[in-house]
Amino acid sequence: MGTHMKVTGKLRRLGQTDLEVGPLAYGLWRFVGRDIAAARARIEAALDAGMNLIDIAAVYGLDWGGNAFGESETLLGKVLADAPALRRRMVLATKFGIVPGIPYDSSNDAVVKSCEDSLTRLNTDVIDLFQVHRPDALTHPADLAETLARLRTQGKIREVGVSNFNARQTMLLQQFLAFPLATIQPEFSALAIEPVSDGVLDYAISRQMTPLAWSPLAGGRLAADSASRHTAEGERLNRVTAKLDEIAKRDGVSRVAVALAFVMRHPARPIPIVGTQNPERIMSANDALRINLSRADWYAIVVASQGAPLP
């Protein structure tokens, strides 16, 4: 028997912090537009579904039809102004450090400005999780640690995480911080399996950090119908979706649920950040919580993804 059902919707601690989060998170990279009621409906659907960690970034708003840096945070801020009680239901996670045209800046002045601007746009007085969006090679980790520690002491942020950092970069920042980093956010999905072997998930285990998996459905590619894909990457995608479909059909679950369960099966207990803007799809992502993939199924997905057998 491969997939068996279990219920695991319980809250757990984010890293070693006192913040409590659900097993799935909700991401706002694609959160743009003027319709505040529709935006609010998505946030409420996610919170009702138990996805209480809401992941956003200062830079979100430049893609998917948005046209301004900060637009997604501004939209979330409008939702929070409209329905202030929602703020207490969420662990609000944003990011700093991407400045289009530079493109990375984690210097003290840039980080402090980004934090103040995010607080203003989000209509809130504290950011629960402040994440470095991408490493800035030109900022010494001791300087970044000092900036972050000061913002934390001032009460503007509660906890700190990193994104798109490798294990060594994370270790280096941690070395200069007097408090533990809470999270690490790599791209991780059945199509992006590197964190399993590049040390990121191992490091998360060793420091009790919670991994947050971005684009757990590979930005929708894992959910799409297999059309004509003749490139090498297309063939790889066909192999992975065929394996996910085989497991899903056998066990009577959806392919998307199996793809999310793949991410959650690792012992580092990654939290997939679901990115759909469709309230029904937000709710149905929870089907993944009833799946516990067998070892054989999990490794078969890895083999399909890497296109080579395991030794």
Ligand X SMILES: NC(=O)c1ccc[n+]([C@@H]2O[C@H](COP(=O)([O-])OP(=O)(O)OC[C@H]3O[C@@H](n4cnc5c(N)ncnc54)[C@H](OP(=O)(O)O)[C@@H]3O)[C@@H](O)[C@H]2O)c1
Is 60 a known active-site residue?
yes
Copy the structure tokens of residue 109.
């002045």
> CB 31 → ligand X: shortest distance, Å?
7
When asked if residue 96 is in the footprint of ligand X (CB under 6 A), the reply is no
Piece of 73-81, 109-117, 153-161, 213-221 that binds ligand X (CB under 6 A): 213-221
Distances from the Cα of 289 to the Cα of 4, 22, 25, 143, 217, angstroms: 11, 11, 12, 40, 15
Catalytic residue among 26, 60, 104, 203: 60
Task: Map residues 173-192 to x or -, x wherever contact with ligand X holds by CB under 6 A.
Answer: ------------x-------
The answer to whether 185 and 161 have CB atoms below 8 angstroms apart is yes
Residue with the two structure tokens 């068996």 = 4
- Residues of span 245-264 touching ligand X by CB under 6 A: 256
> CB 194 → ligand X: shortest distance, Å?
14
Alpha helices (runs of H) in the chain, residue ranges in sequence order: 36-48, 71-82, 85-89, 108-122, 141-153, 167-175, 194-197, 200-207, 232-251, 255-264, 279-284, 295-306
Binds ligand X by CB under 6 A, chosen from 69, 214, 262, 298: 214
Q: Is the N-terminal amide bond of 267 cis, ω within 30° of 0?
A: no
Distance CA(203)–CA(168), nearest Å, equals 9
Distances from the Cα of 236 to the Cα of 25, 229, 233, 309, angstroms: 27, 9, 5, 14
When asked if residue 104 is in the footprint of ligand X (CB under 6 A), the reply is no
When asked if residue 163 is in the footprint of ligand X (CB under 6 A), the reply is yes
Q: Which residue is nearest to ligand X (CB)?
A: 275
When asked if residue 132 is in the footprint of ligand X (CB under 6 A), the reply is no
HEC secondary structure over 172-229: HHHHCCCCCCCEEECECECCECHHHHCCHHHHHHHHCCEEEEECCCHHHCCCCCCCCC
When asked if residue 219 is in the footprint of ligand X (CB under 6 A), the reply is yes
- Residues of span 271-290 touching ligand X by CB under 6 A: 273-278, 281
- Residues of span 19-38 touching ligand X by CB under 6 A: 27-30
> CB 231 → ligand X: shortest distance, Å?
20
Nearer to ligand X, 190 or 304 (CB): 190
Nearer to ligand X, 3 or 178 (CB): 3
Nearer to ligand X, 42 or 158 (CB): 42
Distances from the Cα of 150 to the Cα of 38, 156, 178, angstroms: 37, 9, 11
Phi, psi of 58 (to 5 degrees): -55, -40
Nearer to ligand X, 76 or 293 (CB): 76
Nearer to ligand X, 181 or 256 (CB): 256
Nearer to ligand X, 139 or 189 (CB): 189
Catalytic residue numbers?
60
By CB under 6 A, name the binding residues for ligand X.
27-30, 55, 163-164, 185, 214-220, 223, 256, 273-278, 281
